[in-house]
């Protein structure tokens, strides 16, 4: 007997969801809002979505699953969630390593004092109360009170809805909040309300949000989380293919699950920050402006725009100019008529987040007549790495597909920067291996900076050669044909009583990722006729970039050699740029100017890319003493 729906019970979270027999367990989890890791977007490749069936009948294991599990694991009921379809009601156990874990997120970023000329401003209005002789409507009354500002005053519908109640409860004295000439919010006038702005940086992997006091410029709260869309695929393309493969989700781009998840995620961050501030006078209604930055796909998914065309060459965005979207149109839990500002995108894969990142990094050089002729490179390393170069007063940018290897994906013991991740490694001249983990917990895996250190140290210690070949120079080195591994942590020291190793395959993944990054850097430099040594500043932004040891990055050739005093790790520059735009009309203008002015170099058809990439796969000569 076949049924058209089965109930999937997800443990240990305890959520239940009904799905059709042609929907996978991974889809069930996604629908239920349970974030199972899925690096490959559900094609059975990454083995990140391992789950165990406790009860019930699933489809037969696919070839990918047979490859993924030992016979022992098969006996224990292990499956890949993306490959398993229900044939009855089932109970599924999701092991902790398959759940997106709480992460260390990077929020702090350098902050400079800034001129304040916010788009939003407030003023107190005293309205004439009605009487039997004065029967004008409340809105007419408000317009009259606002003279001369009222000339071409636009009133949002939400304001009209609120007006009668507020006037009468606040003794006809209200606070009017304007976005340019539009009245977007009214609040009680006493005590004088604080008005807040929300700045958000939506990364493919991580989301960072800030509350800024619009009138003082101060940061009132900040919060971060994983991007809840991760359950639909680790990289942008995988998420877009999810939508391409689910036509029902595509009908209304502003209702698809990916859009909904990011909005829900942001609303949670907003609630969290409000409860942190814990001021009874500050609520969602006080958040009257917002700036949201992200790469082009994140931007489109947030804005509820179609993304299918971004998944297929030639990757054209639906819109690249700056946008204002009323918060209520997308369900963002701030003042409903607040206009969410989305800065312009540069190209299919260089988004508003990169424009935002340029504001605190390259723009200070660009705008300063004394420094305008400096040569400055700014790089934001992520699943997509964006690079910009200032030379001769002009900015060129490119984007390289470095992939999520530095997020720990495709690395045997790779993990994100969470407690227990090894973040620093050193191999002493006596060949002792020293390491430090996040939260000083027992080690369970390696995060990006740890992987980078491990390879750099192994290379320095002559345990791998310039091609990445493993050399039998250490008791911890195990080489058996194609299987080569170096034991970083013995089983008895680790948190899961398994050896933590780095394999030849892992090194190869990093070679691909760092090769793509270095090829992008080299092409930008070559197009400008510059050498890395000519750079006056080399600015590394983003979470991963903040925690890495730059010397390791240079040793493995991911970065060219630039004197260390010219390298700056600046933290979340995109978030800082978003805050600048929140506080200043001028910065919004600058963002548009920059986006127009930037010369974008498409690497996809660049004649030198393949050559630079192949060369950059190797580790550079060691003589370069760093």
Binding site for another protein (CB under 8 A): 40-41, 43-45, 62-64, 67, 233, 237-238, 240-241, 244, 311-313, 467-469, 481-484, 504, 508, 511-512, 604-605, 610, 613-614, 617-618
For the bound state, the minimum distance from the C-beta of residue 40 to ligand FES, rounded and expressed in Å, comes to: 4
Q: Cβ distance 308 to 250 under 8 Å?
A: yes
For the bound state, the minimum distance from the C-beta of residue 117 to another protein, rounded and expressed in Å, comes to: 43
Q: Which of 8, 32, 40, 347 is the binder for ligand FES (CB under 6 A)?
A: 40
Residue 62 binding partner per list ligand B12, another protein, ligand FES, none, with a CB distance cut-off of 5 to 8 Å that depends on partner kind = another protein
Residue 47 binding partner per list another protein, ligand B12, ligand FES, none, with a CB distance cut-off of 5 to 8 Å that depends on partner kind = ligand FES
384 touches ligand B12 (CB under 6 A)? yes
439-444 contacts, C-beta under 8 A, 24 or more apart: 441/495, 442/493, 442/494, 442/495, 443/489, 443/493, 443/494, 443/495, 443/500, 444/415, 444/420, 444/494, 444/495, 444/496, 444/500
For the bound state, the minimum distance from the C-beta of residue 383 to ligand B12, rounded and expressed in Å, comes to: 5
Binding range to ligand FES, per CB under 6 A, among 79-87, 143-151, 529-537, 563-571: 79-87
Place of tokens 């993306």: 82
Alpha-carbon distances, residue 95 vs 35, 42, 496 (angstroms): 12, 17, 13
For the bound state, the minimum distance from the C-beta of residue 78 to ligand FES, rounded and expressed in Å, comes to: 12
Give 353's contacts (C-beta < 8 A, 6+ positions apart).
201, 202, 203, 293, 294, 295, 298, 380, 386, 574
Residues 235-264 that bind ligand B12 (CB under 6 A): 235, 237-238
Nearer to another protein, 1 or 63 (CB): 63
For the bound state, the minimum distance from the C-beta of residue 69 to ligand FES, rounded and expressed in Å, comes to: 12
Give the chain's end-to-end CA distance (angstroms, integer). Answer: 69
For the bound state, the minimum distance from the C-beta of residue 455 to ligand FES, rounded and expressed in Å, comes to: 25
For the bound state, the minimum distance from the C-beta of residue 554 to another protein, rounded and expressed in Å, comes to: 19
Give 609's contacts (C-beta < 8 A, 6+ positions apart).
519, 523, 603
For the bound state, the minimum distance from the C-beta of residue 46 to ligand FES, rounded and expressed in Å, comes to: 4
SS (H, E, C) 201-264: EECCCEEEEEEEECCCCCEEEEEEEECHHHHHCCCHHHHHHHHHHCHHHHCCCCCCHHHHHHHH
Residue 525 Ramachandran class (φ > 0 left, ψ -120 to 50 alpha, else beta)? alpha
Please name which of 76, 501, 40, 65 lies closest in space to residue 235, comparing C-alpha atoms: 40
Per-residue binder mask for ligand B12 (CB under 6 A), 492-531, x = binder: --------------------xx--x---------------
Binding range to ligand FES, per CB under 6 A, among 32-40, 52-60, 288-296, 466-474: 32-40
Q: How far apart are CA 222 and CA 276, in angstroms?
A: 9
Q: How far apart are CA 567 and CA 539, in angstroms?
A: 6
Binding range to ligand B12, per CB under 6 A, among 209-217, 270-278, 364-372, 396-404: 396-404
Footprint of ligand FES (CB under 6 A): 26, 38-40, 42, 44-49, 80-82
Instruction: Give residues in contact with ligand B12 (CB under 6 A).
Output: 41, 235, 237-238, 313, 349, 383-384, 399-401, 403-404, 512-513, 516, 603-604, 609-610, 613
């Amino acid at each position: 007997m076949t049924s058209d729906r089965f109930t999937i019970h997800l443990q240990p979270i305890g959520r239940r969801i009904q799905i059709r027999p042609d929907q996978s367990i991974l889809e069930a989890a996604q629908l239920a809002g349970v974030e199972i890791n899925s690096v490959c977007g559900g094609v059975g490749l990454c083995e990140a979505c391992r789950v165990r069936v406790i009860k019930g009948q699933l489809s037969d294991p696919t070839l990918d699953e047979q490859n993924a599990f030992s016979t022992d694991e098969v006996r224990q009921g292990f499956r890949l969630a993306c490959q398993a379809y229900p044939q009855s009601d089932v109970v599924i156990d999701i092991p902790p390593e398959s759940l997106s874990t709480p992460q260390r997120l990077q929020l702090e970023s350098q902050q400079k004092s800034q001129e304040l000329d916010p788009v939003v401003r407030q003023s107190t209005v005293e309205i004439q109360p009605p009487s039997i002789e004065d029967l004008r409507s409340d809105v007419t009354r408000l317009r009259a009170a606002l003279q001369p500002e009222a000339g071409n005053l636009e009133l949002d519908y939400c304001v009209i809805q609120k007006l009668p109640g507020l006037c009468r409860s606040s003794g006809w004295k209200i606070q009017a909040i304007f976005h340019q000439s539009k009245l977007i919010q009214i609040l009680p006038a006493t005590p004088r309300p604080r008005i807040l702005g929300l700045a958000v940086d939506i990364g493919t992997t991580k989301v960072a949000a800030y509350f800024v006091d619009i009138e003082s410029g101060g940061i009132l709260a900040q919060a971060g989380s994983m991007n809840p869309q991760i359950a639909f695929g680790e990289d942008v393309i995988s998420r877009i293919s999810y939508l391409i493969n689910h036509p029902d989700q595509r009908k209304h781009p502003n209702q698809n699950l990916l859009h909904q998840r990011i909005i829900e995620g942001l609303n949670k961050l907003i609630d969290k920050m409000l409860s942190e501030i814990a001021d009874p006078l500050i609520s969602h209604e006080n958040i009257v402006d917002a700036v949201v930055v992200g790469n082009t796909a994140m931007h489109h998914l947030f804005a509820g725009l179609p993304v299918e065309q971004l998944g297929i060459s030639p990757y054209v965005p639906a819109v690249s100019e700056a946008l204002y979207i009323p918060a209520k149109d997308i369900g963002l839990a701030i003042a409903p008529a607040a206009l969410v500002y989305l800065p312009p995108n540069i190209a299919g894969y260089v988004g508003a987040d990169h424009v935002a990142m340029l504001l605190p990094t390259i723009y200070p050089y660009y705008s300063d007549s004394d420094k305008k002729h400096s040569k400055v490179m700014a790089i934001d390393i992520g699943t997509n790495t964006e690079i910009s170069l200032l030379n001769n007063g002009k900015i060129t940018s490119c984007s390289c597909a470095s992939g999520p290897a530095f997020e720990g994906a495709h690395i045997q013991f790779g993990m994100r920067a969470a407690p227990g991740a090894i973040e620093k490694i050193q191999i002493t001249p006596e060949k002792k291996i020293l390491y430090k983990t996040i939260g000083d917990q027992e080690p369970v895996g390696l995060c990006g900076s740890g992987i980078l250190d491990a390879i750099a140290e192994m290379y320095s210690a002559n345990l791998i050669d310039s091609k990445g070949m493993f050399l039998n120079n250490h008791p911890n080195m195990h080489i058996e044909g194609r299987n080569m591994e170096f034991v970083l942590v013995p089983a008895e020291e680790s948190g899961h009583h398994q050896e933590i190793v780095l394999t030849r395959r892992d090194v190869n993944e990093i070679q691909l990722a760092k090769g793509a990054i270095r090829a992008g850097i080299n092409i930008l430099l070559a197009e400008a006729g510059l050498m890395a040594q000519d750079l006056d500043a080399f600015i590394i932004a983003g979470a991963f970039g903040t925690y890495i040891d730059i010397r390791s990055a240079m040793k493995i050739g991911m970065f060219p050699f630039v004197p260390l005093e010219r390298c700056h790790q600046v933290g979340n520059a995109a978030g800082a740029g978003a805050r600048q735009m929140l506080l200043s009309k001028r910065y919004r203008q600058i963002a548009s100017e920059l986006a127009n002015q930037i010369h974008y170099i498409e690497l996809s058809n660049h004649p030198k890319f393949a050559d630079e990439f192949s060369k950059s796969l190797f580790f550079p000569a060691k003589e370069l003493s760093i």
